Structure 1
Amino acid sequence: LVGLGMVPRGEVGLIFASIGLTNGVLDNDQYGALLIVVLLTTVMTPPLLRWRLGKGPTDAVAQADVTAEPEQGWLTVEKGEIRLHGTPPVGLTLPLALRTAVLTKNARPANTLLDWFGTHRDAAVAWDQDCTPLLVKVLRDDNARAWRFLDVSGVLERALPEVAEVMDRRRADLGDLDPLGALRFPVVDRLDDLAHELGLPSDDLLLAALAADVCADSVTATQDAGGCALGLTARLVPAAEAERIAAIVADAHLLRAGVYEPDSFDEREILQLATHLASSAHARDAYELALAMGSLQRWQREALDQRLALVIEALEHPELTGSEANNLAAARRLAAERLVDDAAAVERLRHASNAYLLSHDAAELARQVRLLEPLPRKDAVRVAVTPEPEPDHWKVDVACRDTTALLGRLSAVLREHGLHITSATIATWPDGAVLDSFVVIAAERPSAKDLASEFERHLHGPLPVAPMPDLELAHDNDTLPWHTAVTVTGPDRPGVLAAVAAAFAAADVVVHTARVSTAHGSVADRFAVSDRVGRKLDEATVAVIRAALAGERPARRRRRLLATR
């Protein structure tokens, strides 16, 4: 009987039903009947309340009775009821609904207040950004009754239809046995749970959590999380703030995507991520939202914590104190410009991609652009070899003009000279200039002159590459902000890198960085790639790469104009 008396509060009804079954007060049939009553009353309450609100006079009739606002205000709480004083104009529907929602934490709406909302059931309600602080207050209170009131009053479906649609879909989900599940926002709740560890979230972060909740059910194949979040927040806050909130949502997804391979990020990719996030404050907001989006295993949380620490360390580097350097890539470029005195080399640096600038320190950038200027003539190659800090490791810089399957041709020559490649970066410019930089292992310093001659001999003509169908290729468009991450694994054998490079060339793919790893007779090579106009790869392009690796003859994709980021 107590359980039945508490039925309007579905959670309590379920609790009492479970206690009754456990203690033998209810048998299985009675327990099942009580569950049905609890669920039906919970599901039926919103439409019945909407019907109740719809029984009042029409908005046109009510407008004739509008009064001035009383001294005590439109709303007061008396004896546990939220009471309406006077007759407000219809234009106050939204702010009064939100104020009522806030007050439902300790009181219930009086009948006269419900009747007033019923008279305006057909009135158009557009979101007013002045009401957003009240919405934030509702989010902070974590009060299901507030959301139920906004739902049954019909204000939510008119002012924030995306939120109302998500609540309707959750309510219709028969797999969710929580009667109040439709009135909760899990990401917002988890953000509140993290407050003891991370501090109270800002208003923008709360709105980002709401957008993440709504967009988790609304993202489609043509709209990503950031686009969905921008559509919602653009009505809640000014445009610039909406873009920042949408970026928090998108970058939280970016951070979460990287925790499943904690060892995959090297320094270049960390710097790329730091440049993309741009500020420590934004990085921390995205990190907190990433934690709130769902539980992580301990090792994943540790990986995310470490990644945030590395990003913030990079963003707070002293190089960024100059007013001209607004990101890490710009800081590297400015430092390199100070090391060269040739106008053409400076101009080359100013048109370099961010990925390239982040892959080398200032001294290396200066040395490489000097090697590239003036641009080598067709079929000419310049090579510079410099020692690396690690013993028997050498950096081989190659400057030339772009040609088909260039990375494959260069790597094949290095292999023929017995040089084991451990990493590579590739930079391209719109005028056809290419700077490929390899780190190789050799007991003695390679001859730059001999390598240049061999590179020139292999610039054109057929590139003999053996099919390697046993190589497995995986791609990920979520972990890097600018590029697609491609991982190639399989048995180690001579010519693996050349075969992969040739497959990329067959798909007209640009390689920005490469990291080569060999252990126990297997390779695990990771590449950051894009198409020729700087976009991430689509499924069709990946299919061409796989076909080329297997030795098939895929239809060659139409070559597009070369572009740099």
Structure 2
Amino acid sequence: MLDAIHAKSKSPATVTVAAFALTLGFAELADAAKLAFIIGAFMAGISIGRSRQHERIARDLGAVGNILIPVFFAQIGISADLSAMVKPQVLGIAAVLTVVAVAGKMAAALGAFGIRADRLLIGLGMIPRGEVGLIFASIGLSNGVLGDDQYGALLIVVLLTTILTPPMLRWRLGQAGAAATDDADVTPEPTGGWLSVVRGEIVLDGTPPVSATVPLALRTATLSTSARPSAALLDWFGDHRNVSLAWRMDDTPALVRLLRDDNPKAWRFLDVSGVIERALPEVAASMARRRADLGDLDPIGALRFPMVGRLDDLAPQMGLADDQLVLAAFVSDTCGESGGSGGPGGNPCATTLAQRLVAPAEAERLLAIVADATLLRAGVNDPNAFGEHELLQLATPLASPAHARDAYELAIASGPLPGWQRDALGERLRLVTEALEHPELTGSQANNLAAARRIAAEHLLEETEPIERLRFASNSYLLSHEPSELARQARLVEPLPRSGTVRVAVSPDPEPDHWRIDVACRDITGLLARLTKVLTDHHLEIEAATIATWPDGAVLDSFLVRSRERPAAKLLAEAFEAHLHGALPVAAMPDLTLAFDNHALPWHTSVIVSGPDQPGALLAVSTAFARAKLVVHTARVASRGASIDDRFTVTDRLGHKLTDASMHVVQQYLAGEKTPRWPRR
């Protein structure tokens, strides 16, 4: 009947609703026949299990059960009389019933003759009374068959047998498994392999060595799609349940095939047999976390890997994902919520799992795909998040168009996106790919964009000192300028200016009324804020800025400013030198908002400043950065109507991304809540 309903219905949920109605009907019939309603529900379950739609029905009804079952246990607790449960008479009855319950189950296990089984283990497994005992006890109480004392005694028995059984099972499993860890009875492997399918059962042919546990488990899981493991095969895995297992890289292709099949029954077998827990403990821990997640209403959600599934869904649009991309999605699914910093690539769980699955070089690339997918997806809510230098910084670790494409696919598979965000992500991929396909990358010496620009700039220089200066420049600085600009600025820095001396070079920008002002000097506290103040005082509107520093104290600040007339380099140099010392009296601007993002870029923290457009805003922000002892690497200044939309990339003094504490300190300085003593130099 259910199969017919599914075939004729337009909604896939119809068959689940019909099954739920069938269950309620059977329960009502059982109640009308003076039987427990759970008997009727059980019979309905047996009937539903014969339907071809039973897996979907079980999954959907499991979600309903996750809501209703806690309500049932709450009702049991409400009905319990705690004062009655501590009476000596009740405790005595509970003790006698517990002894009888344990002894009865142990005696019943003796009936398991004629089969190869551990009777003690069977008896221990039957001890718990569990939910069914609670149901019958509550029915007895509601019908007046049981009094409060008997009901309390039965609750104690249920609790005791349920709590005591797991440690006893672990003890017995440990004893039984310790005796079956050698290879004394191993037989030669048959020509057709250790496993075969006979009349719908997965049969073990011979006695394999313990070292074959993982590959046999993976093969059994794969075959479980259309067959069930035989009793002898399950016994073999049970006999070796305490053997320590090590994952071999030769097992990884079988794992990939299993991931592509997306068969929850296969993962259930690997989980129940204990193979996952011993061979891939990171995956077992992830399953346990998802199983404990009360917000996940899917009863088999712990046995699924969402990102791997989405990659399969994307195959008609993007093509079949290769094995490495599937493994990257698997690592991200497994370790995405287990902590760590700097993306999954900085997550110990992801690193350990990747190194188990593949060789070190492949593991590094796999982790890079995961981390770069996070970078590509970060900031997708803001289409203006990346300018040219940020895109080039993003392109540098991506290394190749193929790697960028893999990271893009994984970013799409990370979760659903609205159409406009997906379009923005696609545009970001296009720009990054264009950068990676730049002709400068074809040189044999250039292994990334930053190196390509440095080499191109070196070809424009003849002097040794400027060339050496560029070789020690940061990637972010190299990516922010064209080779001709890098060559000009390197000449400006060399030789290193004396303390208190500032060199300034002014050159026209291709855009009308725009000028590039390069400033070279020695580093001092609050340098960007001091230079910004001078430019503001000279009525030069700053639109962008980049900063480069070197270990010997050299600094090169490059500003793009707007002015109808060419700024005078000599006058600016004198003004800069005059403002290198002394405090910076800057008013607080609490109406400006700072938004920090540690995930959008590989090396720096991205900071977006928004708020009302007002004179001195850039000066206030740069001063707050200076007082918090941050290094500003790039700055983009923009206005939208009466509001500003300034973007900075910053790090701490050691070149690390900002911590939450550092972010809080910057916000305090900008709001005027923190007013430290400004150092004089």
Match of 2:116 in 1: none
Report the CA distance shift for 1:417/1:189 in structure 2 as closer, same or farther (over 3 A): same
Shift of 1:99: 0.9
Q: Does residue 289 of structure 1 match 2:288?
A: no
Among 351, 363, 368, which residue is 2:489 paired with?
368
- Aligned partner of residue 26 in structure 1, secondary structure: helix
Answer with 216-225 or 54-63: which moved more: 54-63
Residue 60 of structure 1, aligned match among 179, 192, 198: 179
In structure 1, the residue matched to 2:99 is: none
Relative to its length, the structure with more helix (as a share) is 2
1:245-268 per-position Cα deviation (integer Å, ceiling 9, x unaligned): 112111111211121212110001
Question: What is the aligned counterpart of 2:540 among 419, 442, 455?
Answer: 419
Q: Deviations over 1:382-414 (max 9, x none)?
A: 111111111111111111111121111111111
- 1:385 paired with 2:384, answer no
1:507 equivalenced with 2:506 (yes/no): no
Q: Any residues of structure 2 matched to 1:20-35 within 5 Å, and which?
A: 20-21=19-20, 26=25, 34=41
When residues 549 and 17 of structure 1 are mapped into structure 2, their CA distance, relative to the original with a 3 A threshold, is closer
Q: CA deviation at 1:367?
A: 0.8
Match for residue 170 of structure 1? 290
1:81 equivalenced with 2:201 (yes/no): yes
Aligned to 2:602: 481
Cα distance in 1 between the residues matched to 2:478 and 2:290: 47
Q: Is the 8 A contact 1:56 1:118 kept in 2?
A: no
| Superposition deviation, residue 448 in structure 1 | 1.0
Amino acid of the structure 2 residue aligned with 1:345: P
Answer with 23-32 or 202-211: which moved more: 23-32
Determine if the alignment matches structure 1 residue 188 to structure 2 residue 308.
Answer: yes
Question: Which residue number corresponds to residue 255 of structure 2?
Answer: 135
The equivalent of 2:471 in structure 1 is 350
> % of aligned pairs identical?
60
Q: 2:223 aligns with which of 103, 106, 117?
A: 103
| Residue 356 (structure 2) pairs with residue 239 (structure 1) | no
Write the mapping of 1:424-439 to structure 2, written as runs, cut at 5 A: 424-439=545-560
1:398 to 509, 516, 519: 519
Q: How does 1:444-463 map to 2 (within 5 A)?
A: 444-463=565-584
Would you say the 8 A contact 1:229–1:249 is kept in 2? no
What is the TM-score normalised by the length of structure 2?
A: 0.75
Inter-partner Cα distance in structure 2 for 1:118 and 1:278: 48
Q: Kindly provide the CA deviation profile for residues 455-491 of structure 1, in whole angstroms up to 9, marking residues without a partner as x.
A: 1111112222122121111111111111001111122
Q: How far is 1:221 from its partner?
A: 6.5
Matches of 2:642 and 2:569, distance apart in 1: 30
| Map of 1:440 onto structure 2 | 561
The Cα shift of 1:521 comes to 2.1
Q: Which residue of 2 aligns with 1:202?
A: 322
Instruction: Please give the per-residue CA displacement for 1:508-563, whole angstroms capped at 9, x wherever unaligned.
Output: 101100001123222111100111111011122122211221223355899xxxxx
Aligned AA for 2:352? G
CA displacement, residues 202-259 of structure 1 (integer Å, 9 cap, x when unaligned): 1111111111111123225798554231111111111121121112111111211121
Equivalent AA in structure 1 for residue 356 of structure 2: R
Distance in structure 2 (CA, Å) of the matches to 1:229 and 1:557: 44
Partner of 1:445, secondary structure, is coil
The residue aligned with 2:616 is 495
- Whether the 8 Å CA contact 2:332–2:344 is kept in 1: the answer is no
Once the two structures are overlaid, the 10-residue window that deviates more, 33-42 or 486-495, is 33-42
3-state SS of the aligned residue for 1:258?
coil
Report the Cα offset of residue 165 of structure 1: 2.1
CA distance in 1, matches of 2:332, 2:518: 45
- Residue 212 of structure 1 is matched in structure 2 by 332
Query: CA-to-partner distance for each residue in 1:6-37, whole Å, 9 max, x for gaps?
Result: xxxxxxx9975511456997399799965997
Q: CA deviation at 1:169?
A: 2.8
Aligned equivalents of 2:465 and 2:370: distance in 1? Answer: 41
Report the AA paired with residue 411 of structure 2: A
Q: Which amino acid aligns with 1:206?
A: V
Which residue of structure 2 aligns with residue 254 of structure 1?
375
2:396 counterpart residue number? 275
Query: Secondary structure at the residue paired with 1:479?
Result: coil
Aligned 8 A contact 2:336 2:344 in 1: no
Q: Match of 2:459?
A: 338
Deviation at 1:159, TM superposition (A): 0.7
Secondary structure of the equivalent of 1:446?
coil
Equivalent-residue separation in structure 2 for 1:392 and 1:450 (angstroms): 19
Q: Could you say if the C-alpha distance between residues 187 and 21 of structure 1 is closer, same or farther in structure 2, counting changes exceeding 3 Å?
A: same
Aligned counterpart, 1:10: none
* Preserved contact between residue 545 and residue 557 of structure 2 (Cα < 8 Å): yes
Q: What is the CA distance between 1:173 and its match in structure 2?
A: 3.3
Distance in 2 separating the partners of 1:513 and 1:242: 32
Counterpart AA for 2:671? A
Residues of 1 paired with 2:595 and 2:20: CA distance?
51
Which residue of the partner structure matches residue 7 of structure 1?
Answer: none
Q: Give 1:410's aligned residue.
A: 531
Q: Secondary structure at the match of 1:118?
A: helix
1:18 equivalent to 2:17? Answer yes
Q: What is the DSSP-based 3-state SS (H/G/I as helix, E as strand, rest coil) of the residue aligned with 1:511?
A: strand
The residue number in structure 2 matching 1:149 is: 269
Which stretch of structure 1 is more off in the superposition, 539-548 or 170-179? 170-179
User: 1:507, 1:556 within 8 Å by CA — same for their partners in 2?
Assistant: no
Equivalent position of 1:470 in the other structure? 591
In structure 2, distance between residues paired with 1:342 and 1:286:
41
- The answer to whether the 8 A contact 1:219-1:225 is kept is no
**AA at the equivalent of 1:292:** A
Taking the aligned partners of 1:344 and 1:83, their CA distance within structure 2 comes to: 75
Cα drift, residue 175 of structure 1: 3.6
Match for 2:351 among 216, 230, 239?
Answer: 230
| Structure 2 CA distance for partners of 1:428 and 1:101, relative to 1, 3 Å | same
Q: Is the 8 A contact 2:215 2:251 kept in 1?
A: yes
Which residue is 1:93 aligned to?
A: 213
CA distance 1:66–1:252, shift in 2 (3 Å): same
**What's 1:536 paired with?**
657
The 3-state SS of whatever aligns with 2:25 is: coil
1 CA distance for matches of 2:497 and 2:192? Answer: 82
Structure 2 residue ranges without an equivalent (≥5): 4-11, 31-36, 46-57, 67-123, 127-165
Residues 544, 554 of structure 1: 8 Å contact kept: no
Does the residue aligned with 1:482 lie in a helix, a strand or coil?
Answer: coil
TM-score, length of structure 1 as denominator length:
0.90
**Cα distance in 2, alignment partners of residues 431 and 55 from structure 1:** 64
**How far, CA to CA, are the matches of 2:14 and 2:175 in structure 1?**
36
Partner of 1:8 in structure 2?
Answer: none
Q: Give the alignment's Cα RMSD to 1 decimal.
A: 3.1
Aligned length: 547
Distance in 1 (CA, whole Å) between partners of 2:615 and 2:557 is 20
How far off is 1:176 after superposition?
2.9
Of the structure 1 ranges 401-410 and 213-222, higher mean CA displacement relative to structure 2 is found in 213-222
Q: Which amino acid aligns with 1:546?
A: Q
Q: How far apart are residue 346 of structure 1 and its match?
A: 0.5
